Amino acid sequence: MAGGHVFQRSTSALMPVAARGDGIFLFDTDGRRYVDACGGAAVSCLGHGHPAIAAAIAEQAARLEYTHTSFFTTEASEELATMIAEHSPGTLDRVWFTNSGSEAIEAALKLARQYHLERGETGRSRIIARRLSYHGNTLGALAAGGSAWRRAPYDPLLIDVSLVDPCFEYRFAEPGESAEDYGRRAASSLEEEIVRLGPETVMAFVAETVVGATAGAVPPVLGYLRHVREICDRHGVLLILDEVMCGSGRTGTFLSCEQDGVVPDIATLGKGLGAGYQPIGAMVCTTGVYEAVAGGSAGLKHGQTYNAHPVGSAAALAVQRLVRDEHLLDRVRSAGGRMMASLRQRFGNHPHVGDIRGRGLLIALELVADRAAKTPFDPALAMHQRAKAEAFVRGLLIYPSGGTVDGRSGDHILLAPPYNVSDDELELIVDMLGDTLEGILPS
């Protein structure tokens, strides 16, 4: 157990020391093995200890470890940006590299504001986001999120952001309401808020394509994002889709929004972009957004010391080449279908599993006290934390969260195994999760 000078997330916890990783497995210094079924926070999309990525990192560090973007670009960042542009839909073809998803959101918000300034629409400064969302932990990103318990301690420091309805069919669709009608109704809350604020004041709408940690792998219903795109276009509002968790192939296409037939003005990436081998994130914008800046002040009024870091770029380039060359997006789709089927076979009628949902290899189970009524457990029970602790004892790593229903009530478990997960490993995850839930849920 560690007990030194690191400021841990929990100051009362004694954390085991991770020593090495091999594929889907992690090992601590006591030799104990853990099945990493969540990639930490949906990060390790190629598993641990991949030799080709380690070699790319070592080669880049030996050749050039750092240069500032005010002086140079690098081959690694240029090649990575080209690959991202080639894999992104529509005219999403300009890439700004960051070191995390939170930083990518910060850059996206600043670009959205500058875009309107360059066009002379100086009154556009308002941001609209959704309840039960999460966009990062820097102050701007936190303000744009709808995670109540994350926001609460810092509310006095946050900019004012309007929060509208999420698209969460399991929780908020009316009885008998079709998915199409629900999607239209959920999207209408955005237009109502734009009109209330005054369209000339709104600069951007920010949303996760597939909601990650706050609500648990919630994909949009068919048609919802198309309605959102139409509303944004009608009122001159930029659409920012946060794909930090669900992008970079996690759901079976490079950007998850491809499956919804929608191209945002700005997208953000992180997590699976570099698979955890180096910190990296990215903001990707359309030609039109880029040209507004390039033809105006000719520079984004933003920057950080480690933007487009050469070693981070080299690591992510190696990751994305492996995803391409090994046809892993096909594997995500087939493995995601297999995992969903296995989970539904095992838990589909479980009295305390209310919903099993997701897209590709981003899947969640929502835990409930009463399946028929969708009643959540008492938040005081912290069932998601109990699930994490029970799984950890059994050697299984899962990504749980609370506040699934309203920011306070509701528990879910998120699973995000690597893209190259084997069928046997998928079955191992489902079996271990079954043992975990038997250990904590009422009989």
Q: Write the CATH number for 424.
A: 3.90.1150.10
Give yes or no: residues 281 and 398 share one domain: no
CA distance 363 to 351: 19
- Name which of 340, 390, 338, 391 is nearest 365 in CA terms: 340
Phi, psi dihedrals of residue 197, rounded to the nearest 5°: -75, -30
Amino acid letter, residue 113:
R
Q: List the structure tokens of 172.
A: 């908020």
Tell me if 245 is assigned to some domain.
yes
CA distance 186 to 228: 9
pLDDT the model gives residue 9? 83
Give yes or no: residues 41 and 60 share one domain: no
CA distance 298 to 271: 30
CA distance 399 to 40: 7
- Whats the size of the chain, residue-wise? 443
**In sequence order, which residues have a C-beta less than 8 Å from that of residue 431 and are 6 or more positions away?**
none
Rounded to a whole number of angstroms, the distance between the first and last alpha carbons of the chain is 34
Query: Per-residue confidence of the chain (443 residues) as pLDDT tens digits?
Result: 556 788 888 887 788 999 999 999 999 999 999 999 999 999 999 999 999 999 999 999 999 999 999 999 999 999 999 999 999 999 999 999 999 999 999 999 999 999 999 999 999 999 999 999 999 999 999 999 988 889 999 999 999 999 999 999 999 999 999 999 999 999 999 999 999 999 999 999 999 999 999 999 999 999 999 999 999 999 999 999 999 999 999 999 999 999 999 999 999 999 999 999 999 999 999 999 999 999 999 999 999 999 999 999 999 999 999 999 999 999 999 999 999 999 999 999 999 999 999 999 999 999 999 999 999 999 999 999 999 999 999 999 999 999 999 999 999 999 999 999 999 999 999 999 999 999 999 97
Give yes or no: residues 321 and 332 share one domain: no
Please answer whether residues 177 and 90 qualify as being in contact, where contact means their C-beta atoms are separated by less than 8 angstroms: no
Domain tally for the chain?
A: 2
Phi, psi dihedrals of residue 127, rounded to the nearest 5°: -115, 140
| Domain stops at, among 325, 358, 385 | 325
pLDDT the model gives residue 14? 84
Which helix (H) or strand (E) segment holds residue 203: the answer is strand 202-208
Give yes or no: residues 369 and 304 share one domain: no
pLDDT the model gives residue 2? 56
Give yes or no: residues 300 and 346 share one domain: no
Q: Give the ranges where 88-143 is alpha helix by DSSP (H).
A: 101-118, 139-143
Give yes or no: residues 156 and 300 share one domain: yes
Give yes or no: residues 258 and 359 share one domain: no
Tell me if 102 is assigned to some domain.
yes
Give yes or no: residues 206 and 100 share one domain: yes
pLDDT the model gives residue 66? 98
Residue with token string 């790593």:
397
Q: List the structure tokens of 393.
A: 């004892």
Tell me if 212 is assigned to some domain.
yes
Tell me if 287 is assigned to some domain.
yes
Tell me if 309 is assigned to some domain.
yes
Q: pTM of the predicted model, to two decimals?
A: 0.97
pLDDT the model gives residue 1? 56
Q: Which range of residues forms the domain containing residue 253?
A: 54-325
